A and B are shown apart, each in its own frame.
Chain A
Amino acid sequence: MLRSRIIPCLLIHNKGLVKTVNFKNPKYVGDPINAVKIFNEKEVDELIVLDIDATKENRGPNLKMIESLANECRMPFCYGGGITTVEEAVKIISLGAEKVALSYSALNNISLCQEIGNIIGNQSVVVVIDVKKKKIFGGYDIYTHNGTKKSNWKLNDFIAKLEEIGIGEIVINSIDNDGVMQGYDLPLIENIREKCSMPITVIGGAGSLQNIKDLISKFKIIGAAAGSLFVFKGKYKAVLISYPNREERKPIY
């Protein structure tokens, strides 16, 4: 039977890897290429790499870097950050990525998802949605530009529209739980999952392998992505890349 996927998610800022807390205060983690190489050797299920500067700086993806990273991956590699045209998406796939992730572009121009999907296949189109809890009345708002701008789209409407178009995967990113390492926002996921017929990956909050195990126990098959968990160690948040090996993963799945 299909297993859940445990996915390291790496953020790129100023050409280097960083980790944030609530999307703020990026802490330098090091060279992306070596990190990806190590993750590949650790046989991670999949890898997501997001360039968090691109949209803010209004520029396209760094193709040379994407090619170097894709070259190191013997597992599926999803790249996101600054993709605004079909040509860029097609180019990124041709450089060796399996999937392209859209965030701001999808909110700004949802038909882009369909256009890209028509060329590279819907299964290769991923939409990343960054959400923050509303201050009152419950529910969530969608944010862009590293959590600084609120989108006009309502979360449920956006997901319904994506469902209608048919994309490969939705990645739900909890800004409130980002870097906090106290567990995933399970109610958020529960709410979204019942509205989607496509695979979901969640990110934001994983602080231990137990958090991932709990997530998988609850939802059976889901993508469990994490940043801090796989790059930091211990109370001093020492940068050290880790990932459970084949044996250690068995009880988690």
Chain B
Amino acid sequence: MIGIIDYGSGNVQAIATIYKNLNIDYEIISNKSDLKKADKLILPGVGAFDATMQQLIDSGLRDELNDLVIRKKVPILGICVGLQVMGFGSDEGDFPGLGWIPGRVKKFNINKIESKPKLPHMGWNTIKDIQNHSLFKGIDNEFGFYFVHSFYFECESEDNILTTSNYGIDFTSAIYSDHIIGTQFHPEKSHGNGVLLFKNFAQL
């Protein structure tokens, strides 16, 4: 059963609808005590870093998640801010992150990018699947995924880079560490590619 974490951030309903239509068992979880029922977890997220971390703490989910993900190695997929909280922290705020994958979240420095792109980075962009990971099996990388963010994750180690994308500069668009995966883009808003990614995640 896929547990979609509802802590007040992210398009939980869209993910639920996708799993419902795939006939894959899922549950929307808002109580920390229900988290352990899931075989795999999804952590969506939209909005500011600090606000998101605050919500995770306030909902009581943070400690339980740490236990399940780090100690019990329950697979988890973080989306957008759900990915960003997996690092040590963000330039956007003051709160520390969950610290699951070494790295920090930085803002696109448009002054340093020749093409001076607009922020947020918003729209469809391609991904480069560095690791040839089965999460991206069958996916049309050129069609890509939908992004909307002004900050991105910078991994300390190259080993944690799952995919890269380009927005004036090359940046990390998905990260991973064994059973922990995060995507900066929104698979729940990326048509067929997204549906396939969710299906692949369930089958990993």
Q: Which of B29-37, B65-73, B186-194 lies at the interface? A: B186-194
Shortest C-beta distance, B30 to chain A (Å), equals 13
Cross-chain contact B122 with A199 (CB below 8 angstroms): yes
- Residues of B contacting A: mostly: mixed
Which chain A residues numbered 133 to 153 have a C-beta less than 8 Å away from chain B? none
Query: Which chain B positions have C-beta within 8 A of A168?
Result: 120, 122, 148
Instruction: A121 to B52: give the CA distance in the assembly, Å.
Output: 10
Cross-chain contact A74 with B18 (CB below 8 angstroms): yes
- Which of B14, B17, B123 contacts A2 (CB under 8 A)? B123
Cross-chain contact A96 with B150 (CB below 8 angstroms): no
Shortest C-beta distance, B172 to chain A (Å), equals 16
- Residues of A contacting B: mostly: loop
Contact status of A45 and B124, CB under 8 A, knowing A1-B166, A74-B191, A221-B117: yes
Closest residue of chain B to A97 (Cβ to Cβ) is: B11
Contact status of A199 and B120, CB under 8 A, knowing A1-B166, A74-B18: yes
- Which of B117, B122, B126 contacts A169 (CB under 8 A)? B122
Query: Which chain B positions have C-beta within 8 A of A75?
Result: 146, 189-191
Q: Does B164 contact A (CB under 8 A)?
A: no
Query: Which chain B positions have C-beta within 8 A of A123?
Result: 46, 120, 122, 148-150
Instruction: A54 to B13: give the CA distance in the assembly, Å.
Output: 26
Instruction: A59 to B125: give the CA distance in the assembly, Å.
Output: 38
Q: How many residues of B sit at the interface, in one of the four size bands?
A: 35 or more
Q: Does B107 contact A (CB under 8 A)?
A: no
Cross-chain contact A3 with B123 (CB below 8 angstroms): yes
Instruction: A197 to B122: give the CA distance in the assembly, Å.
Output: 13
Which chain A residues numbered 97 to 151 have a C-beta less than 8 Å away from chain B? 98, 119-121, 123-124
Query: Which chain B positions have C-beta within 8 A of A74?
Result: 14, 18, 188-192, 194-195
Question: Contact flags (1/0) for B108-136 with A, using CB distance below 8 Å?
Answer: 00100000011111111110000000000
Contact status of A198 and B13, CB under 8 A, knowing A2-B125, A123-B148: no
Closest residue of chain A to B6 (Cβ to Cβ) is: A94
Q: Does A70 contact B (CB under 8 A)?
A: yes
Cross-chain contact B46 with A120 (CB below 8 angstroms): yes
Known contacts A5-B123, A121-B46, A197-B119; 20 additional CB pairs below 8 A are: A2-B121, A2-B122, A2-B125, A2-B147, A3-B124, A3-B125, A43-B191, A46-B123, A70-B14, A71-B13, A74-B14, A74-B18, A75-B191, A98-B11, A98-B148, A121-B48, A197-B110, A198-B118, A221-B117, A221-B123
Taking Cβ atoms with an 8 Å cutoff, the residues of A that contact B are: 1-5, 40, 43, 45-46, 70-71, 73-76, 93-96, 98, 119-121, 123-124, 168-169, 196-200, 221, 223, 246
- Could you name 29 residue pairs across A and B whose Cβ atoms are closer than 8 Å? A2-B122, A2-B123, A2-B125, A2-B147, A2-B167, A3-B124, A3-B144, A5-B123, A43-B191, A45-B124, A46-B146, A71-B13, A73-B14, A74-B189, A74-B194, A75-B189, A75-B191, A76-B146, A76-B189, A96-B14, A98-B148, A119-B47, A120-B46, A123-B122, A124-B46, A196-B118, A197-B110, A197-B119, A198-B118
